Amino acid sequence: GENVEQHPSTLSVQEGDSAVIKCTYSDSASNYFPWYKQELGKRPQLIIDIRSNVGEKKDQRIAVTLNKTAKHFSLHITETQPEDSAVYFCAATPTGTGRRALTFGSGTRLQVQP
Amino acid sequence: DTEVTQTPKHLVMGMTNKKSLKCEQHMGHRAMYWYKQKAKKPPELMFVYSYEKLSINESVPSRFSPECPNSSLLNLHLHALQPEDSALYLCASSQPGRDRSYNEQFFGPGTRLTVL
């Protein structure tokens, strides 16, 4: 099955700096890669996703890049703000096999220092 | 309505109790999921229903019993749980795309379960 590794496990940045979180996946059949943000005591919320026919996607201060050859994808947050502090999870899923289930990375706790 | 709702928000039960968790969505999604999340860990898939049929059971102990009465509702029946089953139980839904593509999963707020 799919295996997703996520690094770093914790990340502390100063407000205004950029943050980068990286994930690698094992199954070359994976073609959907969402990123979720989970604040303490809240539900995971999708912040951005990318499909394997696209190399990069941007939404305001958030961007995701995908390298299918190397099987890794990254989340980039620019101009970080204290409200960006949360746990971020990457995920991957293969399709075409009927297994419509996300495999999550282990999570990154991002702390933005004001 | 673009939200997944779950009840109850909190549940405390003894090891001999029987209880049920409920999940509802009115987005017309035909895939629904149960996840278990322990503190500081990612969500861990338990069950997937696709078009009201159980399509994935991740070898979950039989003390957890899912049910999908219709396309909007998902239940998780609990019986004879263990203290280690204490966790946040999240429900999610999505609309399977054409050509088996994958669409966004919307998560509910979860039920925080404590087993004494």
Nearest to A106 among B42, B107, B110 (CB): B42
pLDDT 10s digits, B44-93:
999 999 889 998 888 899 999 999 999 999 999 999 999 999 999 999 99
Rounded to a whole number of angstroms, the distance between the first and last alpha carbons of chain B is: 36
pLDDT 10s digits, B43-56:
999 999 988 999 88
Q: Bridge-partner residues for A56, per DSSP?
A: A65
Phi, psi of B83 (to 5 degrees): -55, -30
At residue B85, the pLDDT reads 97
Whole-number average pLDDT of chain B = 91
What's the mean pLDDT in B16-43? 94
Nearest residue on chain B to A102, alpha-carbon basis: B45
Contacts of residue A33, defined as CB under 8 A and 6 or more positions apart, other chains included, come to A23, A25, A49, A50, A51, A52, A64, A66, A73, A90, A91, A92
Interface test with A, best of B102, B106, B107, B111 (most A CBs within 10 A): B102
Whole-number average pLDDT of chain A = 93
What's the mean pLDDT in A3-20? 97
Nearest to A43 among B40, B102, B110 (CB): B110
pLDDT 10s digits, B104-113:
899 999 999 9
At residue A99, the pLDDT reads 62
Among candidate residues A36, A41, A40, the one with its CA nearest the CA of residue B9: A41
pLDDT 10s digits, A47-59:
999 988 789 999 9
Q: Chain A contact for B38, CB < 8 A?
A: no
Residues in chain A closer than 8 A to B90 (CB atoms): 43-44
Q: Chain A contact for B2, CB < 8 A?
A: no
Rg from Cα positions in chain B:
14
CB contact under 8 A, A101 and B94: no
At residue A2, the pLDDT reads 85
3-class secondary structure per residue, A2-15: CCEEEECCEEEEEC
pLDDT 10s digits, A71-101:
999 999 999 999 999 999 999 987 655 566 8
